[in-house]
């Protein structure tokens, strides 16, 4: 069953606000089994709204419209829909009472603009708004449903949860689509595509696969539509079991769990603590870990050793080693990891040192070269990575590479002494 989402508002079209309503509604409609065919944003003008809805009615059974329902003059959705569906506006006592009671609960006063909110299209169904004063509306016209909701996200979500979703389940009983997302790191999109080409070509009919890349992370999403959600889940699970051996080295989550949360959970489960010494990542690695609530039980602290002076004085890096090999070297990053481990008395430590860019690169050590080390009491290892030229992406990718390496170490016990 096809659906369309229409958002109304000049503030969207000039880029002043990002439309987050459409994604939220799309997630809910997809869960219900609808296929969102298009999302459309149009301006606050009657003819634009009218023509968008007229077009939608030609190809979809459900149209959800948000925006243009506030009490101010630039909000004209209600009068436009009333005219389009030939359902004249009339004063509706129960909507009026609801608006009055909402405003009184907030300690406010009714004004003429609020009174107009009780003008309601005759023949439309009222969708009660518990978070604001603009009522939602449900129109039925020659087998199609058009729903109009306020654009304020909290009001839109409230009416969707309380009124729209239960009513849609009742009105359109549908097969639903089950999705599952695999999260991978440490591999480029095109390399992953080649690795899993055979598997992808042999996916069962009806299985949809999408690659969703962001710097350092690829989300691989499988989707299957069926009348039987348990069966769809089983079919997806079978395919995941087939592809897992091929991608195990890169796969860190089979839910939408972030890499930092995965690592914090692993450390908790193993009752291990970490500390960090950051040079090129400049605090971002610590920030990722501490963005997880409860990370304090595994994360002791870190030193951002941005200058060489701090590397030697605070972390105890040997100044001869620093002069001989340079700050971006396996030798130095290993001593940084060992230094923070001693200082923080943690079970594991991670250290990073590299050239984030845009300046500071050379032929031997180009921008994007990053050394990462992991240390325990008895062992230290380091690895060299080569990322790109953009500073912020290099910082992100270095941080993710470090988190992922420690994840592998914890899983595969590369450090038998711990």
For its own copies, the closer of residues 123 and 306 by Cβ is 306
388 binds its own copies (CB under 8 A): yes
**One residue of 282, 337, 350, 376 binding its own copies per CB under 8 A:** 282
DSSP letter assigned to residue 295: G
- Position 269 contacts its own copies (CB under 8 A): no
**Does residue 112 touch its own copies according to CB under 8 A?**
yes
Site string for its own copies, 302-331 (x = CB under 8 A): xxxxxx-xx--xx-----------------
Tell me how far, at minimum, the Cβ of 34 lies from its own copies, in Å: 10
Among 289, 355, 400, 402, binds its own copies (CB under 8 A): 289
Binding test (CB under 8 A) with its own copies, winner from 18, 230, 320, 363: 18
For residues 5 and 151, the answer to whether their CB atoms sit within 8 Å is: no
For 269, 384, 404, the CA distances from 183, given in Å and listed in that order, are 20, 23, 12
Interactions with its own copies, residue window 348-377 (CB under 8 A) = 356-359, 368
Touching its own copies, residues 23-62 (CB under 8 A): 23-30, 35-44, 48, 52
At 389 the three-state DSSP class reads coil
Burial class from Cβ neighbours inside 10 Å (0-12, 13-18, 19+) for residue 270 reads: middle
Query: Which positions from 121 through 180 interact with its own copies, judged by CB under 8 A?
Result: 131, 133, 152, 154, 177, 179
Q: Give the range of 4-12, 60-68, 86-94, 167-175 binding its own copies by CB under 8 A.
A: 4-12
Q: Is 254 in the site for its own copies (CB under 8 A)?
A: no
Q: Is 15 exposed, middle or buried (0-12, 13-18, 19+ CB in 10 A)?
A: exposed
CA distance 347 to 381: 14
Could you count the other beta carbons within 10 Å of the beta carbon of residue 349? 29
Residue 318 falls in which region: left (phi positive, over 0), alpha (psi -120 to 50) or beta: beta
Say if CB 208 and CB 223 are below 8 A apart. Answer: yes
3-state secondary structure at position 140: strand
Sequence-ordered strand ranges (E) for 152-270: 176-185, 208-214, 217-226, 251-253
The region of 100-108, 139-147, 224-232, 404-412 touching its own copies under the rule CB under 8 A is 100-108
The minimum distance between CB 120 and its own copies, in angstroms, equals 17
Among 238, 254, 296, 324, indicate the residue that binds its own copies (CB under 8 A). 296
């Amino acid at each position: 069953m096809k659906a369309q989402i229409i958002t109304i508002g000049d503030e969207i079209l000039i880029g002043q606000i990002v439309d987050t309503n459409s994604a939220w509604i799309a997630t809910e409609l997809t869960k219900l089994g609808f296929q969102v065919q298009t999302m459309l944003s149009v301006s606050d003008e009657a003819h634009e709204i009218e023509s968008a809805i007229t077009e939608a009615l030609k190809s979809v059974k459900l149209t959800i419209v948000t925006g243009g329902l506030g009490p101010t003059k630039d909000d004209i959705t209600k009068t436009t829909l009333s005219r389009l569906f030939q359902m004249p506006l009339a004063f509706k006592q129960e909507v009026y009472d609801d608006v009055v009671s909402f405003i009184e609960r907030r300690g406010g006063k009714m004004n003429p603009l609020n009174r107009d909110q009780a003008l309601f299209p005759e023949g439309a169904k009222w969708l009660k708004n518990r978070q604001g004063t603009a009522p939602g509306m449900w129109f039925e016209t020659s087998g199609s449903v058009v729903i109009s909701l306020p654009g304020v996200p909290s009001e839109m979500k409230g009416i969707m949860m309380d009124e729209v979703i239960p009513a849609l389940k009742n009105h359109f009983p549908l097969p639903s689509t089950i999705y599952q997302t695999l999260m991978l790191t440490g591999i480029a999109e095109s390399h992953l595509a080649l690795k899993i080409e055979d598997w992808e070509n042999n996916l069962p009919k009806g299985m949809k696969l999408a690659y969703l890349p962001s710097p350092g992370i690829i989300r691989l999403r499988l989707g299957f539509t069926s009348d039987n959600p348990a069966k769809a889940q089983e079919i997806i699970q079978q395919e995941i079991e087939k592809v897992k051996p091929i991608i195990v080295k890169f796969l860190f989550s089979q839910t939408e769990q972030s890499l930092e949360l995965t690592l914090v959970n692993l450390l908790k489960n193993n009752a291990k603590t970490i500390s960090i010494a950051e040079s090129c990542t400049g605090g971002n690695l610590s920030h990722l870990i501490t963005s997880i609530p409860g990370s304090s039980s595994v994360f002791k602290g870190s030193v951002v050793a941005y200058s060489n002076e701090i590397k030697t004085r605070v972390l105890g890096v040997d100044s001869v080693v620093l002069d001989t090999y340079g700050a971006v070297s396996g030798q130095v990053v290993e001593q940084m990891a060992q230094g923070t481990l001693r200082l923080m008395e943690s079970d594991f430590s991670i250290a990073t040192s590299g050239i984030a860019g845009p300046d500071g690169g050379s032929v031997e050590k180009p921008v994007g070269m990053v050394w990462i080390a992991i240390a325990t009491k008895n062992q230290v290892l380091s690895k060299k990575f080569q990322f790109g030229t953009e500073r912020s992406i290099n910082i992100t990718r270095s941080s993710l590479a470090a988190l992922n390496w420690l994840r592998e170490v914890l899983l595969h016990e590369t450090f038998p002494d711990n």
